[in-house]
Amino acid sequence: MGGTVVTAGGLYGVLDALRSGTRPPVDLGLDASELRGRPATEVADRIANALRPSDGTQDTEAARDAISRALSDLIAAEPDADLLALSPEQIGVVVEGYVAHDLCHRVELDVGKAVHDKAPDPATATSRLEQIKDYVRQEVARRFRARSDRGQRLSRQGAATLAASVLRDTFEVFESYLR
C-alpha cells in the first residue's frame, strides 16, 4: 500500500515537472529535451521505468503496469495529449488511473488466492474478483471526482489518504468473499 502512495506522489511530481519545465522532486534521470519528439508509448515506458525500476518483484511489476496503463488510457482518450505538457487536469486523470489500476493489482495479489479458495468454483471466483476490481475503479473515480468538486488539488498526502480508504472500504464491503 505504501508503494502505491509513494508512486502516486512521484508520478504526479514527474508529470508536473515535465509540464512546467522544472526539476522533479526526485531526480529520476528523465530529461524532457531527450524525450521530446519520441512516441508517446516510449515516453510512457520511460516514465514507468524511472519511477519503478525493474527489480523482479510482483509489486514493482504491478506498479509499472499500472503507470503504463494509466498513461495509455489517457493517450487512448486524448490521442493528441503531449505527455511532456499535460494540463493539471490530465495529470489528475493519470494519477487517478494509476491508483485505480494499482489498487486492482493489490487486490489480485493480496486476496486473489483467498477469493479463489473460498469460492465454490473458478467461475464464481473470477466473477467475485471482477466485482471487487469494478468497485475499486468506481470508488477511486468517485473519490477523485469528489476532491475535484470540493476544489481540492491532488497532493501526495491526498493520494495516500484516498488510496488507503478505498482499499480499507473494499475489504470491508467484500469481507464475505474472504471467509
Report pLDDT digits (tens) over 69-92.
Answer: 999 999 999 999 999 999 988 998
What is the rounded CA–CA span in Å between residue 64 and residue 173? 27
Q: Which of 8, 42, 44, 48 is nearest to 28 (CA)?
A: 48
Number of H helices, E strands in the chain: 7, 0
Q: What is the pLDDT of residue 66?
A: 95
C-alpha dihedral sign at 20, 148, 106, 108: negative
- With 80 as the cut, is the pLDDT of residue 26 above it? no
Matching residue, cell 512516441: 39
For the chain, first and last CA: distance in Å?
22
- With 80 as the cut, is the pLDDT of residue 115 above it? yes
> Averaged over 134-147, what is the pLDDT?
89
